[in-house]
Amino acid sequence: MSTEVRQFTVQHDDDGVRLDRWFKRHLPQIGFAMISRWARTGQIRVDGKRADPADRLSAGQVVRVPPGGDAPAKGGAKPRRELSEEEIARAEAMVITQDRAAIVLNKPPGLATQGGSGMKEHVDGLLDAFAHDGPRPRLVHRLDKDTSGVLLIARTPGSAAYFSKRFSGRTARKIYWAIITGVPDIADGLIELPLAKQPGTGGEKMMVDKSGEGQSARTRYRVLDRAGNRAAWVELQPLTGRTHQLRVHMAAIGHPIVGDGKYGGPEAFLSGSISRKMHLHARRLIIDHPDGDVIDVRAELPEHFANTMASLGFDEDDGDALPEPYKPGKADEKQAAKAHAKQVRKERRGERRGRADGRVATRKPVTKALAKRGPTKGKGSARPAAKGPGPKPTKPTGKR
Q: pLDDT of 52-102, one tens digit each?
A: 988 999 988 999 998 877 655 444 444 567 889 999 999 999 999 999 999
Q: Which helix (H) or strand (E) holds 9?
A: strand 6-9
Categorize the per-residue pLDDT at 342 as very low, low, confident or very high, splitting at 50, 70 and 90.
low
Q: Say if CB 382 and CB 327 are below 8 A apart.
A: no
Amino acid at 125: G
Measured CA to CA, the distance from residue 290 to residue 166 in angstroms comes to: 10
Decide: pTM greater than 0.85.
no
Name the pairing type of β-strands 138-139 and 148-154: antiparallel
Catalytic position from the list 15, 70, 128, 144? 144
Least Cα distance to 15 among 71, 45, 57, 61 occurs for 57
Tens digit of each residue's pLDDT (9 = 90 or more) over 174-216: 999 999 999 999 999 999 999 998 887 655 789 999 887 889 9
Measured CA to CA, the distance from residue 91 to residue 114 in angstroms comes to: 14
| 363-387 mean pLDDT | 47
144 is annotated as an active-site residue:
yes
Give per-residue burial for 301-325: e unless 16+ CB within 10 Å, then b. Answer: bbebbeebbeebebebeebeeeeee
Measured CA to CA, the distance from residue 398 to residue 400 in angstroms comes to: 6
In the chain the domains, ranked by start, together with CATH numbers, are 6-65 (3.10.290.10), 85-167 (3.30.2350.10), 173-318 (3.30.2350.10)
Measured CA to CA, the distance from residue 184 to residue 186 in angstroms comes to: 5
Measured CA to CA, the distance from residue 339 to residue 374 in angstroms comes to: 10
Task: Please give the pLDDT value at position 377.
Answer: 40
| 156 three-state secondary structure | coil
Residues β-bridged to residue 150: 106
Q: Which helix (H) or strand (E) holds 162?
A: helix 157-168
Q: Which helix (H) or strand (E) holds 223?
A: strand 218-227
